[in-house]
Amino acid sequence: MALLSKDQIAAADDRTWEDVDVPEWGGTVRVLGMSGTERNAYQSSLVVLGPNGSVQRMNMADQLAKLVGKSLVGEDFERLFTDKEVAALGKKNGAVLERIGQVAQRLSGLRKEDVDTAAGKSGAAPSDGSTTV
């Protein structure tokens, strides 16, 4: 298989989405997997750094609403909620947010099993390719 070029990678539409029924809200929502930049921003928002740059504590305030807010999009694939509107979203039913959040985690590669796979903990067979130049 031929190696991809920078232009081919940039042109690839690799984001995934899923429509989720939410009867509690009277309809369906669209959940879009976060881009790498969005995912990093979400993860960074959960950490409070100390003066020396080390992790001081986790900031779990509205963490589920933050995740859902970054992932809910309209038909145009534009976010429905801004970061400033997350607190209002956090006031919705926690079970509903959890259900939507689970889809957002899966689509964004945030589940523990996704992280373990990315870190090579899945037991995948090693590549035959050489890393020497």
What pLDDT, in 10s, does the model give residues 67-93? 999 999 999 999 999 999 999 999 999
Rounded to whole angstroms, the Cα distance separating 16 from 30 reads 11
Average pLDDT over residues 2-30: 96
Task: Inform me whether the pLDDT recorded for 123 exceeds 60.
Answer: no
Average pLDDT over residues 27-48: 92
